[in-house]
Structure 1
Amino acid sequence: MFGILGILLTIGMVFGGYALAGGHLEVILYALPFEMMIIGGAAIGSYVLSNETPVLKHTPGGLALAFKGPRWTSRDHQDMLCLMFQMLRLARANPVELEEHIERPRESAIFQQYPRILADEESVQLIADTLRSASLNYDDPYQVEEMLARRIALLRHEQMHVPHALQSMADALPALGIVAAVLGVIKTMSAIDQPPEVLGKMIGSALVGTFLGVFLAYGFVAPLAQRLGNVIKTDLAFYDVIKSVLVAGLHQHATNLCVEVGRQAAPEPLRPSFVTLESALREIKRAS
């Protein structure tokens, strides 16, 4: 919603201000298809040339995510904390039964209560792998915390490829706009015998290339890259919540305290309230 609003506002203010100042839009509109073909085509070509296949495959999904916004909601964070509460309680009460849940999470009655989390392979593996390691006596809290931090950092590095590639495209667009402008000047110089009014329009068309390169770079592509990066960081904070609860559990804190540590690790806009989470945990205790 806000992404579409931002695009409309950017286009409206730039071209509206130009028109109100007495500018002739027909000059821009005439040159726009050709300049867009040169600049946009070169930008896409260089993007394909400079990035590997996985980045290219994930780019459309990344652009969609930039407009859609973060995947995880406050309710998802609450569900994750409830799931972790149940898993930690089971790990301490009946480690043998826990093994069935972490070895076959798709068949687990606990995981099945939270289908959105179960559908996320990374979340399931993060929980299952860590609890499995703890059951095999790899339970040093500091070593596990370092291991989880490295795993999340690697995931962050992989998911940030698309924002970095888009930012590189944004950095290149002004230079590609100059390329288009130079081609326009070359075209103008080849028609130097034309009257001034014709040459003026040709020079104006050539300058559209410079304008378009800068406009696309700083009005659209760079903001999209930044927006996508922020969405990815917000979504990855979900795994930091998991890490916080698991590490607190290895420190042998009370289960409720482990969940509270995870709650406070959640991003502030997505953090469930203490009262809401406590009420959900009470419901779980009554049901068990």
Structure 2
Amino acid sequence: MFQIIGIVLLFALVFGSFIISGGNIGVILHAAPHELMAILGAAVASFLIGNSMTVIKATGGGMGKVFKGPKWKPQDYKDLLALLFLLTKTMKSKGVIALESHIENPTESTIFSRFPNIMKDHFAIDFICDTLRMMTMNLEDPHQVEDAMEKQLEKHHHEAQAPSHALQSMADALPALGIVAAVLGVIKTMGAITEPPEILGEMIGGALVGTFLGVFMAYGLVAPMATRMKEVIDEEGSFYKIIQSVLVAHLHGNAAQISVEIGRGSVPSDAQPTFLELEEALSNMPNEA
């Protein structure tokens, strides 16, 4: 919502100030179509040249994050803590072996099926199940498990950030591509040097529109969108950090309630449940699955 308001304000204030100061908006409107064709065409082409199909598709999908924000809501964080509570509580009471049926087929698990939103995230489920599977193979050194989880998180986060990096690269290129369009306009003007001053002035003004549009789109639109996308992906990454915190805390010998309380500290502040809210949610959980 705020992103849409920001875009409206951006156009209204920039072009409104130009018109109020006596600028001829007709020059911009006349030149904009072919200048945008050159600038955006070159930007899209360079984007396709510099990125894999996986990144290109992810960037298109990631644009929704710019306007929708993080996919995880406060209830999702509470559900994750509840899920991890059930898992760690079961491990404490029955041992890791009792979880084998759940981690081998989470879609049919009586524990995982309680949380359909989390089940939609394949990485979260795989991350939990793979870590628990390591524990069933007697890898119970907290430091080794934490290190293995950290490497998985780094890999996932690096791949998730690729679209924002690609978008930022496009933003960095737009001012230069605007200059390319402007230079083409100057070349066109020089080819008509015998024309009257009023025609030459309009042609030079149209050429400068290219420089303006390149800088305007780079710093007013594309770069802020890349920054917002990165911010959202960073916040979504904290969801997986909670999994790491809780499972490592469990391996250190903490009770299930303590482990999820440690994980609660990794929840983003605007989505973090209070101690009492979490305690109330967990009190409704069964003692064991």
TM (norm. structure 1) is 0.98
> What is aligned with 1:33?
33
Q: Does 1:16 align with 2:16?
A: yes
- 1:194 match: 195
Question: Whole-Å Cα distance in 1 between the matches of residues 288 and 277 of structure 2?
Answer: 17
> 1:103 aligns to what?
104
2-side partners of 1:42 and 1:171: how far apart?
A: 13
Which deviations, in whole Å up to 9, do the C-alpha atoms of 1:236-268 show, x marking residues without a partner?
110000100000000011111100000001111
Q: 1:170 is matched with which residue?
A: 171
The letter of the residue matching 2:113 is: Q
Listed as ranges, the matches of 1:81-160 within 5 Å are: 81-95=81-95, 96-160=97-161
Whole-angstrom CA distance in 1 between matches of 2:132 and 2:288: 23
Q: Which amino acid aligns with 1:162?
A: P
- 1:197-223 C-alpha deviation (Å, 9 max, x unpaired): 111111100000000000010001100
Alpha-carbon distance between aligned partners in 2 of 1:6 and 1:242, rounded to the nearest angstrom: 35
SS of corresponding position for 2:284: helix
- Which amino acid is the alignment partner of residue 141 of structure 1? P
Structure 1: which amino acid aligns with 2:232?
A: V
> What CA deviation, in whole Å up to 9, does each residue of 1:117-139 have, x standing for no partner?
11111111111111111121101
* Aligned residue number for residue 47 of structure 2: 47
Cα separation, 2, equivalents of 1:189 and 1:142: 69
Q: Which residue matches 2:67? A: 67
- Partner Cα separation in structure 1 for residue 112 and residue 246 of structure 2: 16
Pairwise CA distance, 1:287? 9.4
| Residue identity matched to 2:79 | D
Indicate the residue corresponding to 1:276 in structure 2. 277
**2:81 touches 2:264 (CA, 8 Å); kept in 1?**
yes
Change over 3 Å in CA distance of 1:266–1:225 after alignment to 2: same
Letter in 2 for 1:4: I
Corresponding letter in the other structure for 2:252: H
Query: Does residue 235 of structure 1 match 2:233?
Result: no
Give the CA deviation at 1:97: 2.8
Query: Runs of 4+ in structure 1 displaced over 6 angstroms?
Result: none
Q: In angstroms, what is the RMSD of aligned CA positions?
A: 1.2
**TM-score after normalising by structure 2:** 0.97
- The answer to whether the 8 A contact 2:93-2:288 is kept is no
- Unaligned stretches of 5+ residues in structure 1: none
Q: 1: CA distance between counterparts of 2:204 and 2:3?
A: 34
Deviations 1:37-78 (A, max 9, x none): 000000000100111111111111011121111011111010
Pairwise CA distance, 1:111: 0.7
Query: Within 2, Cα distance between the matches of 1:152 and 1:188?
Result: 55
2: CA distance between counterparts of 1:156 and 1:286? 34
Cα distance in 1 between the residues matched to 2:134 and 2:93 = 17
8 Å contact kept, 2:175–2:218: yes
Partner residue of 1:225? 226
Q: 1:148 to 1:286 in 2, by over 3 A?
A: closer
- Between 1:217-226 and 1:89-98, the stretch displaced more is 89-98
State the number of aligned residues.
288
Instruction: Tell me which amino acid in the other structure corresponds to 1:170.
Output: A
Aligned residue for 1:70, secondary structure, equals coil
Does the residue aligned with 1:275 lie in a helix, a strand or coil? helix
Q: Which moved more, 1:153-162 or 1:87-96?
A: 87-96
The equivalent of 2:181 in structure 1 is 180
Give the distance between the partners of 1:54 and 1:100, measured in 2 at CA: 33
